[in-house]
Amino acid sequence: MNIRYTFPRSCRLLKTDEYSSVFNFRCSRSGQFINVYAKPNGNETARLGIVVGKKQLRTAVTRNLAKRVVRDVFRLQRPVLPALDYIVRVMKPFNKNESQVVRAELILLLQKTKRCLNS
């Protein structure tokens, strides 16, 4: 079995309406650094949207690091994730040394959002 660990355009939330529908569904899990919102999407694969505010992460370097970590975790976990639309909101800044903690937290929160399938 050949699993592709890519992050194609079809696996991204692109439009404002897609983000709004996930936020309005109100199924979320929170951690120390991030919040994960989820909603069933009716597709065969999971999709991801990332929200990183300038108020929380002031410099572009920290915002890009946060997005890179989130995309990488999602890309590696996508084959085992259910067909949900996920929005990951970074709430607290972190540095490269803390990125492993954030990765573990994100994996845990993505697993917890499987409960949103039944909603």
Q: Give φ, ψ of 11 to 5 degrees.
A: -105, 20
Task: Judge whether 82 lies within some domain.
Answer: yes
Domain count, the chain: 1
- Record the pTM: 0.90
Whether the predicted pLDDT of 3 surpasses 70? no
Exposure letters 3-40 (e unless 16+ CB within 10 A, then b): eeeeeeeebebeeeebbeebeebebbbebebbebbbbe
pLDDT value at position 117?
76
User: Which CATH number is 53's domain given?
Assistant: 3.30.230.10
pLDDT value at position 42?
84
Task: Judge whether 28 lies within some domain.
Answer: yes
As a whole number of angstroms, the distance between CA 70 and CA 50 comes to 8
Write the CB contacts of 18 (distance below 8 Å, at least 6 apart in sequence).
Answer: 47, 49, 85
